[in-house]
Each structure stands twice: as C-alpha cells, then as structure tokens.
Structure 1
Amino acid sequence: MARVCVCDDRLTVTPSGELCVIPGSLGLRQVLIYSTPGVHQFRKADYPWLARVYVKVQGAGGGSGGANAAAGELIARPGGAGGGYSEALIEVASLGATESVVVGAGGAAGGGNNPGGNGGTSSFGGFAVAFGGDGGTANMTTGTAFSTSTGIPGPLVGTGNGNSGGGGAGGGAIRLSATQGMSGVGGESRLGHGGFQRGGEGPGSAPRGRGGGAGGALSTGTSVPGAEGGHGLVIVELHG
C-alpha cells in the first residue's frame, strides 16, 4: 500500500486532510526594491502568504555647495554628509493594511556661492527611519590667505531594530593660497560612496551607489557648481 510522508517542519495536514504550508516556514520568498525618490505604498494583502518583512532603509546623501572665487583667488567647499541607515524585522500582524514607503531624494547641488541641499529621509512606515545627510556649507569666502571650512557631521541615528546612523561626515575643505587648496570628500553611506575631493578647480563630484554625500567644488576664479547627493533606497524582504 502506497504511503505519503510529510516533512512537518514546513508542511502540515489539517484535520480535513488538506496539505498546507506552515505559515512563516519558507523563509525569504521575494524582494521588493523601492529606488525612485518619493512616496510609495506597500499593501500586505498583495502577499497572502506573508509572515514577516525585513526592511533595509538608506537615507539620501547631502549635496555640495557651489564655488565662485574672484579672479586670482580661491574657494574650496566641504563635501555633503552621507545618509543614515536603518533595518527592522516586522511580523505581519504588526503591519497596517498599507504602509508608506518613502525614498529620500539626494540633496540638491548648490550654484554660485550657495550651499548644497540636505538629503531626504527614507522610511518604511514608522518601523524604520533613516535620516538624510546635510548638505555642504558655503562659508569660505573668496581670498588668497590660509583658510579652512569645517566638515559636515553625519546624520543622527534613526529608528529600527538595527540602526547605526550609518552616514559618514562630509570632509572639510582647506585653502593654502590663491592657487593651492583641497575640497572635501563626500560622506560614505552603508549602500554607497561619497564623491571625491578636488585638488584643482572643478565642480563638485557625484557619489556612487546610494546615499553617499557629494564631493566639494573648488574654484580659482571660475564659477563651478556643487553636485547632487545620492538618492536613498528601501529594500523589503518578504518572508513566508
């Protein structure tokens, strides 16, 4: 007589004889990636098998300021700070019917002698929040004498089961003379890298990956813009 065996760590037979999956026993089944800045919606009813979600949230990086030194003079700008990072494990019963997913936009590039914009906060409902990095300042005035511009602190720690801030500080800038200086490096992020620092005239440098701060601009008489910070990202792992 034929016999069917059921592995009881993932499957069960109901009293009525139905073979069913044990909720939460299958592990990771699908991954959702929200990469476009703005507000999105997550609906748990779209995944009837869902047992829990693990979310990874990356805040956006700060932009860097523009620089426009007078002829024969120099301005160097600091880099923008990297965005924060947060994670959270959430049981399906704790989720609302719909949860808002926010992807922060990278901070705007500054033009002229204006600072860079702040990076936007990313979040998954109220469970995991990662703050954006601040933009680079535009405090150094045009000149030829030695001068420095302080770097930009990384963002505060957000909320979640596991969050370490995660956003690196934007590097400071220095002017040695009318022709020698160094702009600041962009802050690192958990999911990206900051823009590079300049030792010669040029615009701010773009970060790579997600959430990095923009590198600072450097001017020796030409108006150069800053760069935009890296956009945030939200990754949602669906476990069934």
Structure 2
Amino acid sequence: MARACVDGNYFTVDEDTGELSLKRGSMGLRQVVLFNDAGTHQFKKADYPWLARVRVKVQGGGGGSAGANAAANPCIVRPGGAGGGYSESLISVSSLGAVETIVVGAGGAAGTTTQGGGTGGSSSFGGFVQASGGDGGGAFQTSGTAADASSGVPAPLAGRGQFVQGGGAGGGAIRLNGTNGLSGAGGESFLGHGGYPRASEGGGSPARGYGGGAGGGLSYGGSVQGSVGGSGVVIVELYS
C-alpha cells in the first residue's frame, strides 16, 4: 500500500474516511471583494464557508470644490477640497457577525459659483473600521484685483481601525491681481490623488482614484462650476 507524508500545519486527515483536507486558516489570500458604489452594502460571512479572516481597507470620500463667477476683469480663486481618511484592520472570522454593514462614502458634491463644495461621505465596515470624508472647499473670496488668498481646507482626523490616518488637506488659493491667480489643489488620499491647481480660467478639477479632494475653480470674469470629490471605497480581502 502506498503511503504519503502530510504536513500537519496545513492538512488534516479524517481517521475514519482517510479524507485529506486543508486546515482553515492555513492558506493565504483567496479572493478580493470590492465595494466602490456609494451607498450601503452587506457582507455575509456564510457566503464564504472557507473563510478564516478578512483584511478590510476603508477609504473615505474626498471633498468637493467650489466654482466662481467673478465680475468682468476681476478674479476669484477657490481652494481645493480635502482628501478622505483611510483605515484598515485584520479581523478573524469568529469576530464577525453573520452580516456586516458596509458603507461607501460618496465624493463631496460640486459647488456652484457662490457655494462651497460638499463634504465627502465616511466609509465603514461594520463597527470595526471607519474612515472620515474630507471637507469641501469654501467659496468666501469675492471679486477683486488686489492680492488676496483663501486658506486651504483642514484634513479629516484619523478614523477607527488597527491602522488609521487622516486625509490630505485641500490646498489654499492665491490671487495676485485681476488677471493672475492660482486655485487650490485637492487633498491627497491613501488610495487616490487630489485635483490639480489651475492658473487658467476654468471649473474645479476632478480627483483621481479613490477619496481625493477636488481642485478649486478659477474665474477671470466667466462663470465656472466646482467639481465633485473622489468617492470612497471598501476593499475586503478574504483569507482561508
């Protein structure tokens, strides 16, 4: 009769049937589930009977930026929105409930010519991991030709999880005179980039990836709109 050696760290043999099985928790990454549509979702551990643990990566939404509508010849510059925070945790399957609620934060809304950008939504995985969204860029500066500056947007604080960090601050904006200015860049995020700052007239610039803040708009007399912030994401890595 043929015999085979089995590593007891990874396999188990049923004494009655002789069936060879992998031990739960001895394997590595097996599947990645991505939740990138803003809103509420569910994670059911029963859908993965082999599951031993999950690594959850949570990115909050980035802040939107404001537009502008300067009078003819004067200038208006807007700051960028802040990037969303990021958190992650490694969680044993025994600690999970039968169903865990997942929330994916939307990017902050684009502001109008006179309204600031919206705040990005927070993202979370049950009560284990949470990351805050970034604030939107303001719309406080009025038309003018004199040198002036608009403060940047503070970054959100760290959220909840085993590894946590806040997002990137939105960049400030500066007006040199009625025909020269620079809008603010959007804040960076762990999983994305903020919109670019602009010196030419135009609307707010979009973020890239997940959770970046939108860049601010700039007007030399035209009417321009802001931009939406980057949406959040929840990534669930499944290990067996």
Per the shorter chain, which TM-score range?
over 0.9
Between the aligned partners of 2:3 and 2:181, the Cα distance in structure 1 is 80
Do structure 1's residue 188 and structure 2's residue 163 form an aligned pair?
no
SS of 2:87 mapped into structure 1: strand
Do structure 1's residue 46 and structure 2's residue 47 form an aligned pair?
yes
% same residue = 64
Between the aligned partners of 1:75 and 1:87, the Cα distance in structure 2 is 39
Report what 2:199 is aligned to. Answer: 199
Q: Single out whichever of 9-18 and 225-234 deviates more from structure 2.
A: 9-18
Between the aligned partners of 2:38 and 2:150, the Cα distance in structure 1 is 30
Q: Which amino acid aligns with 1:178?
A: G
Do structure 1's residue 228 and structure 2's residue 228 form an aligned pair?
yes
SS of 1:145 mapped into structure 2: coil
Q: Which amino acid aligns with 2:15?
A: P
Q: Which amino acid aligns with 2:143?
A: T
Between the aligned partners of 1:105 and 1:59, the Cα distance in structure 2 is 8
1:78-89 maps to which residues of 2 (within 5 A)? 78-89=79-90
1:4-153 maps to which residues of 2 (within 5 A)? 4-16=4-16, 17-153=18-154
SS of 1:7 mapped into structure 2: coil
Between the aligned partners of 1:221 and 1:114, the Cα distance in structure 2 is 17
Q: Which amino acid aligns with 1:111?
A: T
SS of 2:177 mapped into structure 1: coil
Report what 2:172 is aligned to. Answer: 172
SS of 1:61 mapped into structure 2: coil
The alignment's C-alpha RMSD in Å is 0.9
How far is the alpha carbon of 1:153 from its aligned partner? 0.8
SS of 2:224 mapped into structure 1: coil
Between the aligned partners of 1:2 and 1:99, the Cα distance in structure 2 is 47
Report what 1:156 is aligned to. Answer: 157
Between the aligned partners of 2:180 and 2:31, the Cα distance in structure 1 is 52
How far is the alpha carbon of 1:139 from its aligned partner? 0.9
Between the aligned partners of 2:185 and 2:113, the Cα distance in structure 1 is 19
How far is the alpha carbon of 1:185 from its aligned partner? 0.4
Q: Which amino acid aligns with 2:23?
A: I
How far is the alpha carbon of 1:135 from its aligned partner? 0.3
SS of 1:106 mapped into structure 2: coil
Between the aligned partners of 1:18 and 1:162, the Cα distance in structure 2 is 40
Number of equivalent positions: 239
How far is the alpha carbon of 1:20 from its aligned partner? 2.2
How far is the alpha carbon of 1:72 from its aligned partner? 1.3
How far is the alpha carbon of 1:143 from its aligned partner? 1.1
Between the aligned partners of 1:14 and 1:157, the Cα distance in structure 2 is 48
1:91-150 deviations in Å (ceiling 9; x for gaps): 111101000111110001111211000001011111110100000000111111111100
How far is the alpha carbon of 1:9 from its aligned partner? 1.8
Runs of at least 5 residues in structure 2 that lack an aligned partner in the other structure: none
Q: Single out whichever of 139-148 and 72-81 deviates more from structure 2.
A: 139-148
Runs of at least 5 residues in structure 1 that lack an aligned partner in the other structure: none
How far is the alpha carbon of 1:14 from its aligned partner? 3.0
Between the aligned partners of 1:223 and 1:119, the Cα distance in structure 2 is 24
How far is the alpha carbon of 1:23 from its aligned partner? 1.3
Instruction: Please list every run of at least 4 consecutive aligned residues from structure 1 whose deviation after the TM superposition is greater than 6 angstroms.
Output: none
1:7-65 deviations in Å (ceiling 9; x for gaps): 22210113333322211001111110111111000000001111110001111100001
1:165-224 deviations in Å (ceiling 9; x for gaps): 2x1100000111111111000000111110000112111000111110000000011110
